[in-house]
Chains A and B, each alone.
Chain A
Amino acid sequence: MNIIEVSHLVKEYKKIKKERGLRGAVKNLFVQNTEIVRAVDDISFSIEKGDIVGYIGPNGAGKSTTVKMLSGIMRPTSGEILIDGVSPQRDRKRVVRNLGVVFGQRSQLNWDLRLGETFELLKRIYQIEDKTYTENLGTLNEIFQIDRFLDTPVRQLSLGQRMRGDLVAAMLHSPEVLFLDEPTIGLDVEAKYSVRKFIKEINQRGKTTIILTTHDLGDIQELCQRVIIINEGAIIEDGSLDELIDKIAPYRHLIIDFYHPAAIPHPHAELVSVSEARSVYRFRKDEITAARLIEDISHTAPIKEVGLEEAKIDDIIRTVYQQGSAGKA
């Protein structure tokens, strides 16, 4: 069953073009040049219950705009969204009750309160039963060890601690759907690791459906079964990460060091460079496996050392972004 359905979603922003300088300022008083920007341009997708989907794209692609519309806090210019069969535009309160959202850039925790007090407030807002509340807080604490700073005022928390607080706050009412907009922004490796662990665990425990926006492709590689890539408001790729890699960078490189200088050709691999005893082969994953290649070659000459190089995820995504921009221009 699809828990999220998005069809032909469009969001236009009106931008007022201001002229510079004093003369411009006077002119602005009388004539306003408005320019319409399509931040999201006819996007459609659907997401199955329990999936973790990476929603990525370069800066300004329209990711945050999409998340804002999905969570019902901003109306689309046109198009339809259904979260579990309900439109967040028509019934915001009902959708939001079953939704957790984290904007990495901004905290939903109350600056003046202690972390625990914020949770108490959320308990009342979402009308969480005492028993469920204690249970949920216990489970979340197991993953995140937040009880150490439960009594600390939020303004005294470090970025990483605050982010954990925010993730817990978003999960307290055990929502079925979670939107995470850059949840790992500004975190150190350790904190990033625990955020990823958290995302994985809640996804597995509660079958929570997650849409994740990030610029850290490590997040995507670790977590997402599926990626949707958008650029300039439109979807340019949608599929599993492996499929994407196969499509963009179908080649791998095998580096072989022999005991003696050698250059051994192979029917399914291209010998791209030979220097002394080191040879580099380029081959397609779908044509031959690395193990097979090594075995074939070792029949001809003894091998000392092997190394396998895959295309780097960052390079692949960069290629996709560039192709997307070129296609549009």
Chain B
Amino acid sequence: MKSYLFVSKIRIQTALAYRFNVISTILIQCLIMYAMSCFWAAAYSGAETVSGVSQRDMITYTTISVIMGNLLTMGVQNRIARSVRTGSVALDLLKPVNIYGIYLAEDLGDCAAAFFQKAIPLLLAGTVLFGFPMPASAVHLLLFLFSFAIGYLINWILAALLGLCAFKTLTLGPLVNAKGFIMKLLSGSIFPLWFFPAGFRRVLEALPFMNIYQLPLGIYIGQYTMDDIMLRTALQLFWCAALWVLFDVLQKKMAAAILIQGG
């Protein structure tokens, strides 16, 4: 356990050393946040609520969504692809540790660094631009944090599943970007699912993606009743467990096929 914590610590340390990257990201993210709020203002065009959500809540939704986006960046897929292509996966496998544990620790370290470097500045910027994005209540805030954590794991496992492909194909190429784009769209990070037509929405609710953004965000702004939250969180936990089992099975299968390039 100590070794995984130390890996996270090193990652935080390394990430904090790169400042320029941070400043440019924050500026761009602020711009996106502002553009989205303009979009919602135009879309609402004076209406009190749309689908039971006020414009104020929608701006909170957007602000928190942008912040979440900075915390949910997953390195694992590219990490695996790069290690396989260069053969450095050999060095990971030579250690008496679970390599996926190490990859998760690295991503969590990056996430922690992003919390201080990006999430907090963006929260401040959002507060200056639109006022503080208030959660529906303190209970909702706690439930949001829990839901976000499970969403993080689901997002990570999905990225790791994609990464496993690299053991076979050696590269992921455009797959990473394609996956990122699809996820953004289907997870409710830009447009909440309640704005989609009923049929399409039902399909999206049956997929795991909405558990990453839509569910925690919906909880945050108080869009769901308590009963609803319990049910959906149970479903979210189920998805997390199911994906984990799938990942574990595939990862064991893949272990036999790992080739070490170079040498």
Contact = CB atoms under 8 A, between A and B. Distances in A.
Interface stretch (B88-96, B179-187, B202-210): B88-96
A124 B96 CA distance: 11
B96 A93 contact: yes
Interface of A: 13, 64-65, 67-68, 71-75, 92-94, 96-97, 99, 101, 103, 105-106, 108, 110, 112-113, 117, 120-121, 124-127, 181
Interface in B3-27: 3, 6-7, 10, 14
Chain B interface, DSSP helix/strand/loop, else mixed: loop
Given A74-B260, A75-B256, A106-B90, 12 more contacts: A73-B93, A73-B258, A92-B93, A96-B93, A96-B95, A99-B94, A101-B94, A105-B262, A113-B10, A117-B10, A120-B6, A127-B2
Contacts of B262: 105-106
19 contacts: A13-B259, A68-B90, A68-B260, A75-B255, A93-B97, A94-B96, A96-B93, A97-B96, A101-B94, A103-B91, A105-B263, A108-B91, A112-B14, A113-B14, A117-B10, A121-B10, A124-B2, A126-B95, A127-B2
Given A68-B90, A96-B96, A125-B95, A106 B6 contact: no
A181 B263 contact: yes
Chain A interface, DSSP helix/strand/loop, else mixed: mixed
A112 B14 CA distance: 7
Most chain B beta-carbon neighbours within 10 Å: one of A65, A106, A112: A106
A107 to B, nearest CB: 8
Interface of B: 2-3, 6-7, 10, 14, 87-91, 93-98, 255-260, 262-263
Which 6 A-B residue pairings sit nearest by Cβ, starting from the closest?
A64-B263, A73-B93, A124-B3, A97-B96, A125-B3, A93-B96
Contacts of A181: 263
Nearest to A179: B94
Contacts of A103: 90-91, 263
